[in-house]
Structure formats: C-alpha cells, structure tokens
Chain A
Amino acid sequence: MNDEPEEPAQPGGSPSAQGERRLRAVDGDAYASWDQIYSDNVVRLYRLMYSKVGNRPDAEDLTTEVFLAALGPLRTSASRPEVRAYLVATAQTVLAAFWRRRLGKEVTTVELAQDLAFLTDPPSESDAPARAQRILGALPDRYRRVLELRFLESRSIKETAQEMGVSVANAKVLQHRALRLAAGSAEGDQG
C-alpha cells in the first residue's frame, strides 16, 4: 500500500499549520492535531492488530484500546517516530492482556522493533500471496490444498471435503494436522 505521505494524511492547510511544518524539520516531523495522529496511524495500527488476531471484530476492538490508552499520555507535539514507537509499545501491552483474558496464553505478540517497522512502512498488500506461500510452501500437497481452500478461498468445510474427495470428518482432521504442520514451518521461518 503506497500510503506514506510526507506530511500527515490530512494537512491542516491553515497558514499556521504551514508555519509549524517548517519548524518541524528540527523535531523530526510532528503532528498538528490529535486528528492527524489518528488519521495517519489508524490504518497501519488496524492492519498490525489484524495480523495478530486474524479477525475483524477483535482487530477493531484492539485498535480502539490502543488509541485510547496511547492518546492520553501523548502530546500532539510528539514527532511521528515518537508517536509510532509509543503506539507499538502500547499495542504490545494491550495485545498481551487480550490473550491472557481470552485464552490464558499469548498466541501472538507485538515485537517492538519488527512491528515498529510494520507501522513505519506497512507491507504492501501485494505481498499477501507471498506471505501465504511462505506458510504453505513446505507442506505436502493435500495439507497445503486444505488450507488454501479453507483459509485463503474461504470455502466451507463441506465444500472443501467435496473438492478434495474426502469425508467432512476427514477434511477436519486434514485441516487440523495441516495447521500444526504449518505452525512448525512458520516457526522455523521466523527464527
């Protein structure tokens, strides 16, 4: 996604905003308002949280929680890198608390350096197939196919079973084993 504007997403446009902008060169680049902090970061933060939970309702809640917790202590004069560093640090705490409440285990975590890079320069949407391949690549054909059908093509378990010529129960077992195998390879990939 090519959404890295040199200036905050919604420039104020007022003469005073212009004046401030010149001053910013000293302080990194800063924001002129809460709204700019929000507008410039909401999509990035939502995408990050979605990548951690894989569903939209939880991603929306977590994005909200992070902003609520982070906007209080932030000053609008904070520079863009400072704001993002703070958002990532807050996201780390919020996500950890989310998993502890839900499952008692931290299934995914926010990694400060890596995920700050995500916020600063979000991966392109066109990278998605490559990411999927990285997870599926090492799997035997049938395991790879069941995950493609279910997770990437959003087919039902019944459709998946038909497509693969197996029973529904069998498709469920295949899916389960395939995920475990994929987990193994994904782990190796992350190092």
Chain B
Amino acid sequence: MRRRGRKNDAQVEAILNDEPIPQGQLEDPDDVDALRAAIELRAARTGADLPTSEVIEQIRRTVLPDDIETAVPRSFSRRAMLAAGGAVAAGAVGVAVDRAVLGSGPGAPARTAASGELVPDDGEWVQVATAEQLATGGTRRFATAKLVGFVSEQNGAPVAVSGACTHLGCLLQANDQADRLDCPCHRTAFSPDGRVVFSELASAPGPLPRIKARSREGSVEVFVPREV
C-alpha cells in the first residue's frame, strides 16, 4: 500500500472527535483542502451547528459583563464602527495612545515593558481613591464614563493602568491574593503596573496602557477623558 504523507490526520481526527483543532503546520495545499472538506462535511449534519443553551449562556456571561454600561463606550463614531473588525482597546475613546516606550528597566524584555500611556486630548483629573486606601496595598478598580482601570501604589507612588485586556478588551479582574489582574477570557494575567505576568495565548498581548496618576493632598487622582 502506498502511503502518502498525511499531515492533517490530527486535525481531521479532532474534527471527528469534536475537539479543538490542534496546533501544527500544514504545508501541502492538498492537506489544507482536505481539512476544509472535513470541516464542511462535519458541519453538514442536521443540527450539528446549533449551540446548546448552556453555551449561549456561557458566552453571554463572558461578553456581557454586569457593568457593561460603564465599561463600554456608548458613543463611538460611525466611521470607527464601520471600519473592518479587529480588537479595539476598550477605553481608548477620545484618547491618544502615546506609543513611546516608558520606563522599561535595564534588561527588561521589550514585550513586557510598559509601552504606552493613555493621554486624553481633553482630560481632567478625577479622584478615584484616597492615599490611605492605596497604602493598605492591593489594587483598586475605578470606572469613569469613558474608562475602566486599576490604581495601586508602586514604590510609594500611585500607578494607574487600563482595566481592559490588551488582547480582546475583556475586563480584567483584580486578584489581590496573587497581586495581579486576571483576564477572565484567555488565561492571561498582568501585574498591577501593567506588565504581562503570564499568558496562554500563542503570542503574549502587550502590556496595559498606563493612565496618568498622581497623589494630591491625600487623594489619588487619574487623568481621564473629560465627561460630557
């Protein structure tokens, strides 16, 4: 029996077993075409493509968090909406992202260095915590009309970062026990100052944009887009 290279066996098997398609490299265009045929055929079973109500609920919980009213900017321009898809960082409305690399320490890998700061065109300082609250450690979540973020004390100074994961914009959750911000979507976590702690994604997402923060007369303030 002539045995030809079957490089797509694992992928075809996964489809037959209803499992995620395993990672690999398909070089032969015929393998790619055959895998496509396998997908089409598998999807051509009556009812196979209908999600269960559990799946619908599961996705709903992930994509519609309880505080979506404050988390999602409500007034995005029509032009931006019609632009082709792609992850858009939540909280970037009316905010210029300064791509200049800030404060990456010597030897710090560029990927995990803070790579940007959110500086609104028209902003204002808003109190989000008191110095006392920050002094007790941990991170505090804050939400303004346009921005969700976390503020913490690092080396005696307040540091604020965006609260949206840089992968797809999922809202991060503070995990104070582990001293990090966890993404509920794809097992990615950031340090309170925005560096990637770990990520299961094939390529780690960028660090969290910083938000200007200051401590003034016992109150901690962040510089955020002006509320209209």
Question: Which residues of A are interface residues toward B (Cβ below 8 A)?
Answer: 1, 34-35, 38, 42-43, 46-47, 50-61, 63-76, 78, 82, 85-86, 89-94, 101-105, 107-108, 125-126, 128-129, 131-132, 135-136, 147, 150-152, 154, 169-170, 172-173, 175-176, 179-180, 182-184, 186-187
Contact = CB atoms under 8 A, between A and B. Distances in A.
Interface in B2-61: 3-4, 6, 9, 11-12, 14-16, 18-26, 30, 32-51, 55-56, 58-60
9 contacts: A1-B50, A34-B72, A50-B48, A91-B85, A101-B203, A105-B26, A108-B36, A125-B50, A179-B37
Given A46-B51, A55-B18, A179-B12, A169 B1 contact: yes
B60 A89 contact: no
Given A60-B59, A131-B40, 17 more contacts: A34-B64, A35-B64, A42-B59, A50-B43, A51-B43, A68-B185, A72-B88, A75-B75, A85-B82, A92-B84, A102-B24, A104-B26, A129-B46, A135-B44, A170-B1, A172-B6, A175-B12
A103 B34 contact: no
A63 B57 CA distance: 12
A29 to B, nearest CB: 17
B51 A179 contact: no
B80 interface: yes
A86 B81 contact: yes
Chain A binding surface SS class? helix
Contact of B20 (A55, A65, A70, A151): A55
A53 to B, nearest CB: 6
Given A56-B18, A108-B39, A125 B1 contact: no
B90 interface: yes
A91 B86 CA distance: 9
Given A55-B20, A57-B18, A186-B36, A103 B85 contact: no
B228 interface: no
B33 A103 contact: no
Interface residues of B, number: 70
Interface of B: 1, 3-4, 6, 9, 11-12, 14-16, 18-26, 30, 32-51, 55-56, 58-60, 62-64, 68, 72-76, 80-88, 90, 168-170, 185, 202-203
Contact of B55 (A60, A89, A150, A186): A60
Contacts of B48: 50, 128
Contacts, number: 217
Closest 4 CB pairs of A and B: A90-B85, A54-B39, A183-B33, A132-B44
A47 B49 contact: yes
A51 B15 CA distance: 12
Contacts of A170: 1
A93 B38 contact: no
Contact of A102 (B23, B87, B88): B23
B61 to A, nearest CB: 10
Given A46-B51, A154-B16, A65 B168 contact: yes
Contact of A107 (B26, B47, B87, B203): B26
Contacts of A38: 60, 63-64
Contact of B21 (A76, A103, A183): A103
A64 B51 CA distance: 12
Contact of B40 (A66, A70, A135, A172): A135
Contacts of A35: 64
A88 to B, nearest CB: 8
B202 A135 contact: no
B177 to A, nearest CB: 26
Contacts of B74: 75-76
